[in-house]
Amino acid sequence: MRWFLDLGGWPRGMVEGKVCVALVSGGIDSPVAVARMLREGWMVHPVHCSQEPITGPEAEQKTIDSLRHILEMEGPIGESARINLSRQLTVVPVAQQLSLFTEKWCHTEYFIHMKRLYCGLGDVVGRRTGATHLLTGENLGQVSSQTLGNLGAIEMMTSLQVLRPLLGFDKTTIMHMAQSMGTYDLSLGPEVCDALGPSLPTTVANLEWLEKSEERVGGFQNLLETAWKNRRIVQL
C-alpha cells in the first residue's frame, strides 16, 4: 500500500491559503487524514480533545506519538510536515462537559453532542490561527455520529469549511493507509470516545432536541468556554 504515500487528495493549488485545524483523536483515522492534507501542502494546526480523567492518558499519548512520527517520515509527507505541521498540539479537556450528556433524556445523542463540541473548539483554534478549514478523519457510516443524518448537525457548530478526506474510504483501506505510513501500530488501543457513549446511539439528529439539551446543561457557548479555558499546549 505504498501507493498512499504518493496519492494526493485534491489537485495542488485548488485551495488558496491551505490552512486547517485538525481534530486528532489518537485513533487510526485522524493521522491518515493529517498526512493526506500535508501531502497537498496544507498548514495543519492539530487539536486533541482529552477525556481524562474518565479515560487514561493513552489517547493523548497516541496522538503525540503519531504526529511526531509524521514529522520524522521520509518522502513528501514528512518533508511537508516539517514545514507545515505546527509543533504545538492544543489539548482541550472535555470530560466534564461530555459527562453532562449521559442522562437518560439526552444520552442517545451523546456522540453528536461530543462532535458538536469538538467542532466548536476547532472553530476557536481556527480564529486564532487564521485557518479556513476544519479537518476530521471521519468516514461515512463508520460510527453513529458519522451518518448523513448527523453530519449536518455537527458541522454547523463551526464557521470553518469541513475537510473529510477519508469520507469515501472503508475502514480496511484506511487501516492499510495507516500501515503504509507507519502510524497504525501507534494508534492501536481502545476507542476512548466510547467510554461514556450509549449502546444504541441515534443515527438521525433532531436539531431542535439537540439545542434544547445543550440549553438544559447551561448552553453550548458555556460548554465551549469552560472547556477552552483549561486548554494546554504540548510541544511536538
Give me the phi and psi of 184, to 5 degrees please.
-60, -55
Domain assignment present for residue 161? The answer is yes
Q: How confident is the model at residue 54 (pLDDT cuts 50, 70, 90)?
A: confident
Residue 53 has pLDDT above 70, yes or no: yes
Q: Which amino acid is at 54?
A: I
Cα–Cα dist 220/75, whole Å: 42
Q: How many H-runs (helices) and E-runs (strands) does the chain carry?
A: 10, 6
pLDDT tens digits for 57-105? 999 999 999 999 999 999 999 999 999 999 999 999 999 999 999 998 8
Domain assignment present for residue 11? The answer is no
Domain assignment present for residue 7? The answer is no
Domain assignment present for residue 145? The answer is yes
**What is the edge-to-edge ordering of all strands in the sheet holding 88-93?**
161-163, 133-135, 19-23, 43-50, 88-93, 232-235
How many structural domains is the chain composed of?
A: 1
Domain assignment present for residue 14? The answer is no
Domain assignment present for residue 10? The answer is no
CB 27 within 8 Å of CB 137? yes
CATH of the domain at 129: 3.40.50.620
* Residues paired with 48 in a beta bridge: 91
Average pLDDT of the residues in 49-63: 92
Lowest mean pLDDT among 104-108, 189-193, 224-228: 189-193
Residue 74, C-alpha cell as written in the block: 521520509
Q: How confident is the model at residue 15 (pLDDT cuts 50, 70, 90)?
A: very low
Contacts of 178 (CB under 8 A, 6+ apart): 28, 29, 31, 32, 184, 187
Domain hosting 208: range is: 19-235
Contacts of 38 (CB under 8 A, 6+ apart): 44, 70, 77, 80, 81, 84, 85
Domain assignment present for residue 13? The answer is no
DSSP alpha helix (H) spans, the chain: 29-39, 58-72, 75-84, 95-98, 110-129, 148-155, 171-181, 184-187, 207-216, 220-228
pLDDT tens digits for 106-142? 899 999 999 999 999 999 999 999 999 999 998 875 5
* Residue closest to 137 by CA, chosen among 204, 63, 72, 202: 63
Domain assignment present for residue 1? The answer is no
Give me the phi and psi of 90, to 5 degrees please.
-85, 120
Cα–Cα dist 33/16, whole Å: 19
